[in-house]
Every structure is written in C-alpha cells, then in structure tokens.
Chain A
Amino acid sequence: MSAPLRTLEFRDPLKAKQLGARLSEVVDQVGREPVSVMHVCGSHEQAIARFGLRSAFPKKLDVVMGPGCPVCITDVPEVDEAVALALQGVRVATYGDMLRVPGTVKSLGDVRGEGAKVEVVYGIDQALELARATPAEELVFFATGFETTAVATASALLHDPPPNFSVLSAHKYIPPVMEIVTEMPGSRIEGFLAAGHAAVITGSNVFEQFVRDHGVPVVVAGFEPLDILAALVRLTELVRDREPKVVNMFPRCVTAEGNRVAQEQLWQVFTPTGGQWRGIAHVPNGNLRLRDDFARFDARRRFTIDVAKLWAYAPPRLLGQCRCGEIMSGSKRPSDCALFGKACVPESPVGACMVSTEGTCRIWHQYGGHLDLRSVS
C-alpha cells in the first residue's frame, strides 16, 4: 500500500512517560489501593503485554483482562455440539482457533484427526463457498465470537445462503457479561476499558445503560500504547471523581451510534438469550440465538445433535484444574494456575485460554509469562 508513512505519534516514549506519571498521580489521588479496572479484549492484552505496558502501570493499579477472548468463553457443551455433529457425519466449518478448544472429551481437531469432516475457514463467506460447491451435502458453520463476527454471520444469512447451509451459533454479546463480572461476589472491578473495534459496530452508546445501572465508568480505548495509557488516565480520573460515565477515547474509529447498517442486520437475525460462558457464569442475554424466521438455517433445529453420548466418557483429568474461568472473571492470573507453562503450553493446551492468540494464558506465555517485561518490539 502506498500511502505516505507518518511517524507514529502514539508511540512517542516521552509522551508515554508523561502519561505513565500522570496515571500514577491520578491513582494516588484515588486514595486507596489497589484500583482495579478490567479490559475485555484480547488485542488490548496483547498490546499491554508486547509493549511491556504493565511495567509502566503504577503498582497500585490492577489492569486485568476479563472475558474478552471469544474462543475462550465458548462453552464446553457448545464445542460438544459441534463435535457431536461432526461425529454424526455432518461437515462442519469453523474458525481455525476453534479446532483445539477442548470439549468434554474431544476437540474438533481430535475428531478431524479421526476422519470427521471439519474445515477451517477464515470467514463465513468461505464456509458459504464450500456449501455452494457441494450442494448435495449439508454444511454447518460453527459460528463463534462476539458482536464483530456475529454481524458477519447475520449478514451472510440475510444474503441468500444456499439451502444446504446452516449455523450452529455460539455467538456472545459483551455488554451483558460486564454486568455479571461487576456483580460477582468479591468483584473489585471499578471501571472498564472497552475494545475500540467492537465499538466501531456497537457504538459507545451501547455502554450507557450499563453505566447507569451499575455506576461503573467505561472508556472506549484504541490499541496503541499511548491510546491505552491515555484511556487508563481518563478511566482512573472517572474512578477518582466517582463519575460513572461513558467516554470515547478512540474517536478516530468509534462514534456514539456505531455502525447502524451492521446493527440492524445483527438484530434482524439474532435475539439475545441467556447462556453459559465457559468457566464464568450463566449470562442473561449473553448469547445470540437465531430468530424463528431463520429456523431453517439453525443447525440446532435442523439436526438432532446427540451430545449426551459424549458426556458418557469421563472428562480429561487435567481440565478440572484449569483456572480459565477465574482468570476471565478477573479474580486470578495465569501465574496462579499450577499448570501454566508446565502441563499447559500453546503446543498442548489444557484450557481454552492457552489456545487462542487472544487468550490470557497464551498471551502471557508468549510475552514472557510474567507481569513486568520490557517492550518486545
């Protein structure tokens, strides 16, 4: 691409230092410790880890990653449904990360190794192509992810999907889980950083209701080191001033209303329903289910999925020790897990948080496995 390059003003080390100092000042002014804030985005954690930002955060500030990894929160029974379908002989397509996510006994990768038809696609458009290429064969797209991928699923179903195509929806919706995590007994979360690019679609307004109901501020943040530091300064100011409101610190990408065209398609196809998030909790309105108008594209209504058969086996032994749920709800860190970096590594993950590039354990493992590390780039 040929647009002229500009030096990145959002990586200026001097500005980073100034923002770091300002952040310390504001956290001190809060007058108690630790001040705990949560972000809900794998890309935020990647940026924090790879740029060594935690070493720039004041000691009194705890920045924890919440349930922001779409692969990690896909629940075990949802993986089981996809695995059961594949074992029943149905062709299943899904995003690459989903292959190694453990179900009760098997992952999609396991059953693919045993000969089941499991295809990896980069987007639902590729799954549609596969379905069109083999019209006599049923193809189920195992649809995972938050708002950002759910809009793609919705749009695909609105624009002429072939009759042999259906969707197994494990889509999740972020705002409701923020309520759950905030309300958890013992939760210390005093503010949220919201993911910039998800907010491109939902708009920053989507958080207004949450802030009104829970009195916890939300700041929409970008992904550059200075974006994150500046957003944290603003967020801790709001905590200090007991001023629960939504502030958009990523206006170069996010508007208050968001992308209306995408939102309309999302809600035309999906309706929120309660559902389990892996290891965390049942989240009212946290799952996205296909509306009745789209029943014929709903794999759950199209097939009898025999998951119970899978549960007859005992679950893999180590999975019981996995702390993903507590990590994603903010009460534990990867280093609190006895398996972290030992029995559980990216090459042979025990839990879902070690699988995805957006998983907290995977990110910590990749960038050194401890809190304070130097910049890697």
Chain B
Amino acid sequence: MCLGVPGRVVSVNGFSAVVDFWGVQKQVLLHLVDEPVGPGDYVLNHVGYAIRKIPSEDIAATLAMYDQLLDAKPEDLMRQDIEGEVGASKGRP
C-alpha cells in the first residue's frame, strides 16, 4: 500500500534500526532513508525499510492521523493495511 507507517527509532546499529510501532518493536533497514537517523527520531516505513525521516513538527499530526485509522473497525481496509505494514495486529496500547 502507498501509505507506509510511522514509527519511533529505539536504537540504531549500522544500517539496521529497531523501531517501535505502537508498542511493537521491529527491525527496519535504513539503506533507503536520505537523512541520518538516530534514537528518538520518527521514520515513515514501508515493507521493512525506512523511506523518510518525519520532520519533528509533523510527528504529532502524523501519529494522530494513524491513531484514528487504527481506531476503525477491524474489517476496515486502511486499518488492515497499516496493521499489515506493522506486521502485527497486537500490542497497541
């Protein structure tokens, strides 16, 4: 899907990062992102790769948008796509 999902970088090891998605931690690769990324940064991710660092002023609005999409009914297609991207449907606080 073309949305991608935002997540918070927990740690970075070379080109590999651990990223937190609503409490689910996953490994994400950093080869495609065009800015340096460190712990605490938010990145937009697609199929296991970070594709963009989210500017700090856009983080709150971006997360709020996804929170609302994830609040939809389980059969909602946008929610399903986001959960598919995270690769886990559980662990959301």
CB distance from B68 to the nearest CB of A (A): 6
Closest to B80 in A: A357
Chain A hits for B68, CB < 8 A: 8, 11, 377
Contact at A5–B46, with CB atoms within 8 Å?
A: no
Q: What is the CA–CA distance of A7 and B60 in the complex, to the nearest angstrom?
A: 10
Chain B hits for A253, CB < 8 A: 44, 52, 58
B interface SS class: mixed
Judge if A43 is at the interface, Cβ distance under 8 Å: yes
Contact with A along B9-53 (1 / 0, CB 8 A): 000000100001110000101011110000000101011110110
CB distance from A203 to the nearest CB of B (A): 11
Chain B hits for A152, CB < 8 A: 32, 46-49
CB distance from A3 to the nearest CB of B (A): 5
Contact at B22–A1, with CB atoms within 8 Å?
A: yes
Q: What is the CA–CA distance of A9 and B60 in the complex, to the nearest angstrom?
A: 12
Contact with B along A39-80 (1 / 0, CB 8 A): 001110011001000000000000000001000000000000
Interface size of A by CB at 8 A reads: 56
Q: What is the CA–CA distance of A50 and B49 in the complex, to the nearest angstrom?
A: 28
Closest to A71 in B: B1
Chain B hits for A358, CB < 8 A: 1, 81
Of the 9-residue stretches A118-126, A273-281, A315-323, which lies at the interface with chain B? A118-126
Interface size of B by CB at 8 A reads: 46
For A1, A7, A50, A265, the residue with the greatest tally of chain B CB atoms inside 10 Å of its CB is A1
Judge if A337 is at the interface, Cβ distance under 8 Å: no
Chain B hits for A8, CB < 8 A: 61, 64-65, 68
Q: Which of A256-284 contact B (CB under 8 A)?
A: 259-262, 265
Contact at B2–A196, with CB atoms within 8 Å?
A: yes
Q: A8-B65, A261-B33, A265-B31 are in contact. Are A377 and B76 (CB under 8 A)?
A: yes
CB distance from B58 to the nearest CB of A (A): 5
Q: A3-B59, A195-B2 are in contact. Are A151 and B34 (CB under 8 A)?
A: no
Chain A hits for B58, CB < 8 A: 252-253
Chain B hits for A50, CB < 8 A: 72, 76-78
Judge if A363 is at the interface, Cβ distance under 8 Å: yes
Contact with B along A144-172 (1 / 0, CB 8 A): 01101101100100110000000000000
Contact at B48–A123, with CB atoms within 8 Å?
A: yes
Closest to A197 in B: B2
Q: Can you list 11 A-B contacts with CB-CB less than 8 angstroms, sorted by A residue number?
A: A5-B60, A5-B63, A43-B1, A43-B78, A122-B47, A125-B49, A152-B49, A200-B52, A253-B44, A259-B52, A377-B68
